[in-house]
Amino acid sequence: MQSTPSGAGDYAGSGDLNTVKADLPTRFRAHAQVMERHGRSPLSVALMQGAADDLEKGGIVAELYTGVPLPAGQAPALRLLAALHRLVLSGEAPDLAAYYPSMGGNEPPEGAWKVAEVTLRAHAAEIGAVIRRGVQTNEPGRSAVLFGVLLWIADRYRRPVRLLEIGASAGLNLLAENFAYRSSGALLGDPDSALVFEGPWVSTPVDDPADAQEHLTVIERRGCDIAPIDATSRDGQLALLSYIWPDEPKRLARMRAALEVAEEHPPLVDDAPASPWLRQVLAERQRSTVQLVWQSVFAQYLTSEDRDELTVTMEAAGKLATDDVPLVWARMEPSTDPLKGFGVSAICWPGGEETLLARSGDHGPPVRWTNA
């Protein structure tokens, strides 16, 4: 399967973290507006707008969300969209499937809400269960970012890497080395992979990626999540596919290819919250290795207390870092400036200096490395 840049431009995510005082219909509409502005998923936009109207009328969506805690950043509209997509993908909502390109449907999105509303009423219990869970996306496109970060680390430190991912979901990005990346005529990563990224980078993370790859050895890859998904189970696969916008066929194909790779290399994701897990795994450090802590689109799903605890945990671990066992905390998160897409940065200890490595799309490509 081949994956090309989506042309995501500078879409900076749902923006839901900035909705501290907004009511639910406003949050749905704000998410729909930002997607519409960037030409993303007309079906999702139509469904979010229909749901916002329904919330204002006190309809089925309002009933389903009653009593569900939704702090800012939780992107509540994504939960409803995933719940509907899951029903469609599992064949339980054939009328609605007519609007879902992911199931071959081609009805215009404008008519989808009426059918979705009927579907929500018919499957309220199942939908309610998904809505109560947090957002469980796992976007393998972000491996195009992580693989570049790994090359940057290999080039800089020239020693084996322990890859430790927090908020890993199903751990598909722990497989970054098992995917292939075509860049400036070279095929990096695993050339036999079922998932090939075609030109995911604008510029390169290091001057000579092929040389950096020669120095890249990942000796351990492990993640944690408070609700890990098993990418090798049917239920887990359905959950992962359901979070992808139904009218983005390239992303669906990319996910299916990543799931094929995961069957061969099942990712290891521990069921644990980030900070306690990090304290434990970082203490298991080995001589002459780099400890890389990686996170993508994760911070907004934490409470402010959890975010503070994570900073304290990483700074404490940073103080123990040495030239022999350096620590890197690399993050891909929405930029605070919505015009700048997603920022990819790394804090390196000893020292604790932060470097902006790249700007990327929300799902990875196109990745613009600052090295250029």
Ligand X SMILES: C[S@@+](CC[C@H](N)C(=O)[O-])C[C@H]1O[C@@H](n2cnc3c(N)ncnc32)[C@H](O)[C@@H]1O
**Euclidean distance between CA atoms 257 and 250, whole angstroms:** 10
Tokens at residue 12, please? 């900076």
169 is a contact residue toward ligand X (CB under 6 A): yes
Contact letters for ligand X, residues 105-134 (x by CB under 6 A)? -----------------------------x
244 is a contact residue toward ligand X (CB under 6 A): no
Q: Which of 54, 190, 225, 333 binds ligand X (CB under 6 A)?
A: 225
In the complex with ligand X, the residue whose CB is nearer, 137 or 313, is: 137
Task: Calculate ∠ Cα 187-346-74, nearest 5°.
Answer: 95
Least distance in angstroms from the C-beta of 287 to ligand X = 28
Least distance in angstroms from the C-beta of 97 to ligand X = 25
Strand pairing class (186-189; 180-183) = antiparallel
* Helix or strand (DSSP H, E) at 230: none
139 is a contact residue toward ligand X (CB under 6 A): yes
**Euclidean distance between CA atoms 287 and 219, whole angstroms:** 12
Least distance in angstroms from the C-beta of 240 to ligand X = 9
In the complex with ligand X, the residue whose CB is nearer, 136 or 178, is: 136
Taking CB under 6 A as the criterion, which residues in 287-326 touch ligand X? 296-298, 301-302, 306
Give 278: exposed, middle or buried? Use CB within 10 Å, 0-12, 13-18, 19+: buried
239 is a contact residue toward ligand X (CB under 6 A): no
**Euclidean distance between CA atoms 146 and 13, whole angstroms:** 18
44 is a contact residue toward ligand X (CB under 6 A): no
Q: At a CB cut-off of 8 Å and minimum separation 6, what does 244 contact?
A: 85, 102, 137, 251, 252, 255
Binding site for ligand X (CB under 6 A): 134-139, 142, 166-169, 173, 224-227, 273-274, 296-298, 301-302, 306
